[in-house]
Homo-oligomer: A and B are copies of this chain.
Amino acid sequence: MTTIEDSTVDDGGRVWPVTLDNWQDPPVNRWGFAHAEQIVPAAVIRAADPPPAEAASGAATDLAGLLVPLADAEVPLRSFLDVSSTDAFLVRDRTGIRYESYHGVMDRHRRHLLMSVSKSVCALLIGQLVDEGEVALSEVARAYVPELGESAFGTATLQQILDMTVSVDYSEDYHDPASHVQLQDRLAGWRPRLPGDPDTVFDFLASLRTAGPHGRRFQYCSAATDVLAWIAERVTSARYPDLLGERLWRHLAGERDAQITVDRAGFAFANGGMSTTARDLSLIGMLVLDGGTVGGRQLVPAAWIDAIRRGGDPAAVTGTAFSQVHPRGTYRNQWWVTGDDHGSLYGTGIYGQYLWVDPTAQVVIVKFSSLPVATSATWSLAHARAFRRVAETVLAAREPA
């Protein structure tokens, strides 16, 4: 029942019959009443029946006083968390939760918006579809979604889209109302619509123009993930939130449903709209740490996790703000790969969202924040350094003296 719903029609073109005008009327009301959160909407990403809540492990480490680097100083972790507008902070390894703290209005049951960490979750689903032969990395997007036509994304391969090497006329300026990324916010229902906005995000994605040859330069473009989600829906005939639930979330042994915002066309905001608890997101990190397995079961292909961890093309990111922070860093399959000597990789979102995986230390770190600025190279560096210190500390505590 979590694929295409009874009252909807998906006959190749994407027809979504539910509107704010009709959802209480038959036959749409059968769907509408069971999905009210999608009318004024955030879709549920269902977890399995929850296991008993997990206590922080007996091996928990009190990290609050741990000194971490900040600018030219060393400050206690608790101070770092405070000044970096932390909402939640969680450290996990294979023994369980090693440390967690919640701030402001957050607690361990509350979901927090992931922003672009959502992209890194999407990538795991795409890896499954590649493995199943549903999509091919060398194929161009219009092969799956003909509506994309000769647009920038229509003519790019899945690998280029995953790696953000599509050359596209797109402004990712989060603070500019005239930017494409703010236009996407409006189409997603995240900001009030303006006159002249396209009807749907599908129209918008198909309208984006190529700016040069694909595959050469890294260009971070949030729309890439929405194209991936569009392709995933098309090849599976299932809705994106249901795909995440059926293929990932319910296998994680997490505690809570996740959710993802949906626009007025019922299309999820794949590039940034997921919300999860800190605990549940850390299980995604463990999956990556464990080569795609959860509880010994291969959920995401090992080869896909390997491909992410090996990283992407260093030449593509030369000169970017990312490479200032991580000189040997690359971007691969919607993950940031640091190139550090621990093989660390991470997902990150604006205003300070992080899912950090340190394979050498065997540590996963989640940080939810509400920083006053969307992006900041200073804060990116500070977080990377703090996470490294935390991971090293947990590693050292684990090793025999």
**Which residues does A use to contact B, with CB under 8 Å?**
1, 5-6, 20-21, 24, 26, 29-37, 39-42, 44, 46, 49-50, 52-53, 85, 87, 104-107, 109-113, 189-192, 259, 261-262, 273, 275, 351, 368, 370-372, 374
11 intermolecular pairs with C-beta atoms under 8 Å apart: A1-B107, A21-B192, A24-B190, A24-B374, A29-B370, A30-B85, A33-B113, A34-B370, A37-B111, A40-B261, A44-B110
Given A1-B107, A5-B105, A368 and B21 touching (CB < 8 A)? Answer: no
Taking a contact as CB atoms closer than 8 A, the residue among B34, B42, B106 that contacts A34 in the complex is B106
Report the Cα distance A371→B44, complex, angstroms. 24
Chain B nearest CB, measured from A253 CB (Å)? 14
A49 surroundings in chain B (CB, below 8 A) = 53, 109
With A30-B87, A351-B24 as known contacts, state yes or no: A36 contacts B261, CB within 8 Å. yes
The complex is assembled from copies of this chain, and their number is: 2
Interface centre among A20, A24, A32 (most CB of B within 10 A): A24
A297 to B42, CA, bound (A): 35
In the complex, what's the smallest C-beta–C-beta distance from A266 to chain B, in angstroms?
12
Complex: A109 Cα to B29 Cα, angstroms? 19
With beta carbons under 8 angstroms apart, the residue of B5, B44, B52, B190 that contacts A40 is: B190
With A53-B49, A189-B40 known to touch, is A87 a contact of B33 (CB < 8 Å)? yes
CA distance A293 to B248 in the complex (A): 39
| Chain B neighbourhood of A368, CB < 8 A | 33
Q: Chain B residues with Cβ under 8 A from A44's Cβ?
A: 110
Please tell me if the beta carbons of A112 and B33 are within 8 angstroms of each other in the complex. yes
Q: Which residues of B contact A190 (CB under 8 A)?
A: 20, 24, 39-40
Q: Complex Cα distance A370/B6, Å?
A: 13
Instruction: Give every chain B residue within 8 A of A53 (Cβ-Cβ).
Output: 49
Given that A36-B113, A37-B37 are contacting pairs, would A30 and B191 also be in contact in the complex, using a CB cutoff of 8 Å? no
